[in-house]
Amino acid sequence: MTYEQLLTETALANEQVIVMTAENRALVRNLPGILGKRFIDTGITEQTMIGAAAGLALRGRIPVVHALAAFLTMRAFEFVRTDLGISGLPAKLSGFIPGLLSDGNGPTHQAIEDVAIMRGIPNVTVFAPADEDDLVKMLPQIWQSAQPAYTRINTRQTGYTHAPFVLGKAEVIAEGTDVTILTYGLLFEQALVALEILQSEGLSVGLINMRSLKPVDEQAILTASAQSKLVVTLEDHFVTGGLYTIVAEVLLKHQTTANVLPIALNNKWFKPALLPHVLQHEGFTGKQIAERILGYKTAHHQPEILTPEFSE
Amino acid sequence: MNTFNEQELRATALNVREHIVRMSTDGGCFTGASLSAVDLIVYLYSEFLNVNADNLTDPNRDYLFLSKGHDVPALYGTFAELGLLDKTRLNNHLSITDHIYWHPNTHIPGIEFHSGSLGHLPSVAIGVAMDIKISGGSNKVVCILGDGELNEGTCWEAMLVANAYKLDNLIFVVDRNHFQANVRTEDLIPLEPLADKFAAFGAAVKRINGHDFTALHETFNAYPFEEGKVNVVIADTVRGKGLPSIQERADRWFCNFNADEIEQLLLELHSQQATQLTSETLVVR
């Protein structure tokens, strides 16, 4: 199932669902014809779209709102915070090409602080699926919840079959005593590669797909920190405000600590190019991640990374 | 009115269009949106703006802000033709080793400001125009906007402020290609009567064919249009201009052609006979 098929089914089953976009139609190509008046394209007006979503939600509708993640979360930030955050109205934000997925667009289109700013808004929940299978398993609960939600849309295929989603719970892929990688979104694909390399180097390795970043699975973080000598937070996000910060907050809250290695974008925008080259250049391929954890080079092979079908 | 060599401008614009076609593969670019802006950009840098390879950091140079942003292949191509950018660098489009990507950035000398998020540069251009007024300069400030971009509220805030501060040294040029990413502007968020809208905001407005060099020359020679008023040029253009096979097609905005199509399209630029395209069309923004 694709994102668009799921959204179509959901909207046809529930008359209250309204599909909105600020002229970003990549995920909703066929919906204008199917939904008629329940498809609203406000043009390139992210702020007005969010305000209108609040108005629709005020009347009992469930708006599923689309734009590029950078403009949805940052151009419209104060509208999300004030119109959706304060009211707690259940608009559902779908941010397209978040993180490294904006590949060749450049810093203007890089949503790599979106987790930090969205999770800082009271009432707003934040989700980051690992791939398309994860995405379609997560969205029904996200859309049914009574709260505003921001989802980092990720339609990559990894071939991994995910466990059923429980809102607020992480997905434990593997458990290990030497190192546990905590990750979300696009980099799950590379974490699977890293997992295999680290295991073949003789380490006991855990891997957790965080999925729900707010509410976050505190127990999963605490267990991994207690079980493993090293915890790695792996994210295509600035190191500030994302998973590394979430882990720090959870550990402090429970008056404990851990040996944590953050692999993230450290206070810089990434070099724009096609995705496989970006991953390599920024040190986010599975092989590079594994070698960074190991502290030495290996002879392992990095599997080919597919360029997205379209990138904007 | 000073003279200008229309034939030379046409030849330059054709070369720029070839550069754009060559950048429309191996990842692709915003081909249609770039082709509509070519004649405007070539005219402005060739005839109107005091910008050249030797004055790029001179505070007395003129400024061009490309707010539309995704038409930057037209700017890369123009810079290459006018000697501001080494032509071989165009081969580095989307390469991790260079800075030639889908939106403008200041790693390329001559690009005044980064863009890509729509509706930002009208206000940056206002700041520059304000300083030129404050410091008594005579530089001109041009800001190229997309018509879809006019959806963004900040464009209209900028018009209010430009009017309030009587910025007659500032020229907003609208690349009016009648499309936003996936649809015709008038089918989604209608803009017409556009000239009346700008006039109601206090601007001195001229509307011309943005592919007609004579009209461009007459219009920009009339700068400043009216003392104390911000200048607006609505340039009616055609998305995909020069390539009949993609002209005016909603699904040919971002294009990533295969190698065979690129060869065909380069021929099409000269013959104006539409090519049969086989690559997938994209509905994106």
For chain B, which domains are there?
6-271 (3.40.50.970)
Asked if the domains A3-152 and A171-294 are classified in one and the same CATH topology, the answer is yes
Q: Is-contact A312 B285, C-beta < 8 A?
A: yes
Q: What's residue B261's pLDDT? A: 95
- Give the count of Cβ contacts less than 8 A between chain A and B: 99
Asked if B168 reaches chain A (Cβ–Cβ under 8 Å), the answer is no
Q: Is-contact A111 A265, C-beta < 8 A?
A: no
Q: Which residue has the tokens 């994209």?
A: B282
Q: What's residue A311's pLDDT? A: 45
Look at residue B125 and tell me whether its pLDDT is greater than 90.
yes
ipTM over 0.95: no
A45, closest residue in chain B (CA to CA): B152
Look at residue B281 and tell me whether its pLDDT is greater than 80.
no
Asked if A277 reaches chain B (Cβ–Cβ under 8 Å), the answer is yes
**By C-alpha distance, which of A89, A56, A116 is closest to A242?**
A116
**By C-alpha distance, which of B64, B78, B63, B83 is closest to B20?**
B78
Look at residue B283 and tell me whether its pLDDT is greater than 70.
no
Mutation choice for B interface testing from A108, A275, A284, A285 by most B CBs within 10 A: A108
A132-144 vs A3-13: helix axis angle to the nearest 10? 20
- Which A residues 204-233 touch B at CB under 8 Å? none
Give the C-alpha separation, B253 to B184, whole Å: 12
Q: Where are the domains of chain A?
A: 3-152, 171-294
Q: Is-contact A2 A31, C-beta < 8 A?
A: no
Look at residue B284 and tell me whether its pLDDT is greater than 80.
no
The C-alpha of B74 sits at a distance from chain A's nearest C-alpha, in angstroms, of 16
Homologous superfamily in CATH for domain A3-152? Thiamin diphosphate (ThDP)-binding fold, Pyr/PP domains (3.40.50.970)
Take residue A54 and report the two structure tokens written for it: 């609040």
Q: What's residue B5's pLDDT? A: 93
Q: Spell out the residues 6+ positions from residue A299 whose beta carbon is closer than 8 angstroms to its own.
A: none
B105-118: average pLDDT: 97
Amino acid, res. B280: E
Asked if A40 reaches chain B (Cβ–Cβ under 8 Å), the answer is no
Give the C-alpha separation, A225 to A48, whole Å: 43
The C-alpha of B4 sits at a distance from chain A's nearest C-alpha, in angstroms, of 36
Q: What's residue B1's pLDDT? A: 62
Interface touch B27/A311, C-beta < 8 Å = yes
Asked if A32 reaches chain B (Cβ–Cβ under 8 Å), the answer is no
Q: What is the band of B182 on the pLDDT scale with cuts at 50, 70, 90? A: confident
Of all helices (H) and strands (E), which one includes residue B180?
A: strand B179-180
Calculate the alpha carbon distances from A54 to A58, A70, A119, A150 in Å. Answer: 6, 20, 18, 14
Look at residue B6 and tell me whether its pLDDT is greater than 70.
yes
Ranges of chain A whose pLDDT falls below 50: 311-312
Give the C-alpha separation, A307 to B21, whole Å: 21
For residue B222, the 8-state DSSP code is T
B125-133: average pLDDT: 97
Q: What's residue A308's pLDDT? A: 81
Asked if A26 reaches chain B (Cβ–Cβ under 8 Å), the answer is yes
Mean pLDDT of chain B: 95
Interface touch B282/A310, C-beta < 8 Å = yes
- Measured between beta carbons, the chain B residues lying within 8 angstroms of A273 are 94-96, 101
Give the C-alpha separation, A263 to A301, whole Å: 20
Of B102, B103, B117, the CB nearest to A75: B117
pTM (two decimals): 0.94
The C-alpha of A274 sits at a distance from chain B's nearest C-alpha, in angstroms, of 7
Give the C-alpha separation, A74 to A110, whole Å: 10
The class level of CATH for A171-294 reads: alpha beta
Asked if B151 reaches chain A (Cβ–Cβ under 8 Å), the answer is yes
Q: What's residue A190's pLDDT? A: 98
Of A23, A105, A278, the CB nearest to B181: A23
Q: What's residue B282's pLDDT? A: 66
Interface touch A106/B152, C-beta < 8 Å = no
- Which B residues 98-137 touch A at CB under 8 Å? 99, 101-103, 105, 114-119
Q: Spell out the residues 6+ positions from residue B260 whose beta carbon is closer than 8 angstroms to its own.
A: none
- Report the percentage of chain B scoring pLDDT > 90: 91
Take residue B105 and report the two structure tokens written for it: 């950035």
The sign one gets for the Cα dihedral B101, B106, B112, B113 is positive
How far from the centroid of its chain's Cα atoms is residue A251's Cα?
Answer: 22
Give the C-alpha separation, A273 to B100, whole Å: 9
B105, closest residue in chain A (CA to CA): A106
Classified as helix, coil or strand, B43 is helix
Classified as helix, coil or strand, B262 is helix
Interface touch B96/A71, C-beta < 8 Å = no
B112-137: average pLDDT: 97
Calculate the alpha carbon distances from B42 to A244, B231, B249 in Å. Answer: 48, 20, 23
Asked if B71 reaches chain A (Cβ–Cβ under 8 Å), the answer is no
Give the C-alpha separation, B167 to B144, whole Å: 16
